[in-house]
Amino acid sequence: MASSTDPSLDSPPSSSPYLLHPSDSPSLVLVSGLLTGDNFPKWQRAICRALNAKHKLSFVDGTLNAPAKTSPDYAQWSRTKDMVLTWLLNTITPSLANSLDYHDDPRDVWLDLDSRFSHGNNARLFHLKREISNLHQNQLSIPDYYNSIKQLWDELGNLQPLTDATTLEKRAEDERVFQFLLGLNDSYAALRSQILATDPLPSLNKIFSILFQEEQQRLLQVSRLHPENIALVSRSSPHPRPSLKCTKCGKDGHLRNRCWHVIGYPPGREPRNPQRPSLLRKPPSATVHLAASNPVPVAPSSSPIPGLSFETYQ
């Protein structure tokens, strides 16, 4: 008869989630890519596969209840629980893992991460569609280019699984919404982010109404600007009008091929007379002033007495 102290009787069966293999250590890293937050869906799928391969997925998905502290399985459950918790923290970036140090149960860590980063797929879907739209081969080889776009396609397909007809109709509506939002100017980026954060996405008509009202509000604010502010905006335009200067007459505002001195004056517009006296004339010379103030006496040619010659009068 086997002894009751035989260690083989104390070890859990091979199908038990409490079983730890000799190769299982606290320093084990189950997945290659660390969780940063933005990659939560991809990380979640990878860590689920790894835990399921080790028969430990029940520690995070809520299907395994903790045994009573008086149960003989409690000690083994506690050791395995701490091992799974350590594995989870090893696959998270240090800055994010520091905020999870005080969790004692891997299930609590799982729920905490899910509440932080699982807020619908609308934003991720939008970014995936934009990446696919902007992806070009450029300097990539054909295999590298194919692998890059296939990775995006696979993630997009995972976020949009095949469902019933009603869901497919809603997906078609969301596809039009994404295309409409992709074409918006960057000035609407903040409002676009608010729309993408809504789950489920509003209808396309509702989104149009929201953006139209925003545009009208902006136009109203522009119309209230002071004239000097509008002039300042026009002067600070990123595409200023080039300055024009004629090489024939030296004046601004036109070029030589449009100069009237070259192509001729239009009817009714005659050139200015270059001999036209200026209003600012040169002052008369000093000799003229002297002549006006001291006139030269002129000898009289007739006598002041009628009938008497000048010589007789003298």
Provide the Cα torsion 128, 129, 132, 135; round to 10°.
-90
Asked if the peptide bond before residue 67 counts as cis, ω within 30 degrees of 0, the response is no
Q: Fill in the DSSP letter of residue 70.
A: T
Instruction: Concatenate the DSSP letters of all residues of 244-284 into one string.
Output: -B-TTT--BSS-GGG-HHHH-PPTT-PPPPTTPPPSSPPPP
Assigned domain for 54 exists: yes
Is the pLDDT assigned to residue 217 strictly greater than 60?
yes
How confident is the model at residue 85, as a pLDDT?
93
Nearest to 59 by CA among 76, 72, 43: 76
* Same structural domain, 104 and 131: no
Calpha distance 57→51 (Å, rounded): 5
Token pair of 22 as six digits: 């000799």
Task: Pick the more confident residue, 215 or 38.
Answer: 215
Assigned domain for 33 exists: yes
Identify the top-confidence range among 112-116, 230-234, 286-290.
112-116
How confident is the model at residue 23, as a pLDDT?
86
Is the pLDDT assigned to residue 39 strictly greater than 50?
yes
Calpha distance 92→216 (Å, rounded): 45
* Same structural domain, 109 and 149: no
Looking at the structure of the chain, the number of domains it has is: 2
Assigned domain for 180 exists: yes
Last residue of a domain, one of 205, 230, 255: 230
How confident is the model at residue 6, as a pLDDT?
44
Calpha distance 181→191 (Å, rounded): 10
Residues 126-148: tens digit of each pLDDT: 888 888 888 787 887 777 877 88
Indicate the pLDDT class of residue 107, thresholds 50, 70 and 90. Answer: very high
Calpha distance 103→111 (Å, rounded): 11
Mean pLDDT of 224-251: 63
Residues 240-277: tens digit of each pLDDT: 556 778 887 888 777 877 787 777 777 766 666 555 55
How confident is the model at residue 57, as a pLDDT?
92
Class of residue 172 by CB neighbours under 10 A (exposed 0-12, middle 13-18, buried 19+): exposed
How confident is the model at residue 288, as a pLDDT?
45
* Same structural domain, 40 and 90: yes
How confident is the model at residue 166, as a pLDDT?
74
Assigned domain for 310 exists: no
Calpha distance 134→152 (Å, rounded): 12
How confident is the model at residue 290, as a pLDDT?
46
Residues 280-296: tens digit of each pLDDT: 555 555 554 444 455 55
Mean pLDDT of 230-249: 63
How confident is the model at residue 303, as a pLDDT?
53
Helix 122-134 and helix 165-182, axial crossing angle in degrees, nearest 10 = 60
How confident is the model at residue 7, as a pLDDT?
43
* Same structural domain, 135 and 84: no
Q: Three-state SS across 283-308?
A: CCCHHHHHHHHCCCCCCCCCCCCCCC
Residues of the domain holding 203: 122-230
How confident is the model at residue 58, as a pLDDT?
92
Mean pLDDT of 50-72: 90
Nearest to 96 by CA among 120, 82, 123, 116: 116
Assigned domain for 35 exists: yes
